[in-house]
């Protein structure tokens, strides 16, 4: 499938799936009421969830935080007789 067509279908079906979820109805009943093929619904549901997982995996690695060790100010070392808390 052409990538552009795939992305268009993904956007279209994401909206359809969200409408079903927002309705609070059972998928089967919602599909009948809205003339949506239930098999296509589940096909695209799996596709959208797969895309969401892939997106989260990419985000997880892109937002990786590196920690830097900071020096302790000299005056805090001199006041060691005071409790910290």
Q: Does 26 have pLDDT greater than 80?
A: yes
Euclidean distance between CA atoms 38 and 27, whole angstroms:
8
Residue 66 lies in a domain: no
Residue 42 lies in a domain: yes
Residue 62 lies in a domain: no
State pLDDT tens for residues 27-85. Answer: 999 999 999 999 999 999 989 888 877 776 766 665 566 777 777 777 666 656 665 55
Number of domains the chain is built from: 1
Residue 35 lies in a domain: yes
**Looking at the whole model, is its pTM more than 0.85?**
no
Euclidean distance between CA atoms 28 and 34, whole angstroms:
10
Residue 14 lies in a domain: yes
With left for phi above 0 and alpha for psi between -120 and 50, is residue 24 left, alpha or beta?
A: left
What is the domain extent for residue 29? 3-55
């Amino acid at each position: 499938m052409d990538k552009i067509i795939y992305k268009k279908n993904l956007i279209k079906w994401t909206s359809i799936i969200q409408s079903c979820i927002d309705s609070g109805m059972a998928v089967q009943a919602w599909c009948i009421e809205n003339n949506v093929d239930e098999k296509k619904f589940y096909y695209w549901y799996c596709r959208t969830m797969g895309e969401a997982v892939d997106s989260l995996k990419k985000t997880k690695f892109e937002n990786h935080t590196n920690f830097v060790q900071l020096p302790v100010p000299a005056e805090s070392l001199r006041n060691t007789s005071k409790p910290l808390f």
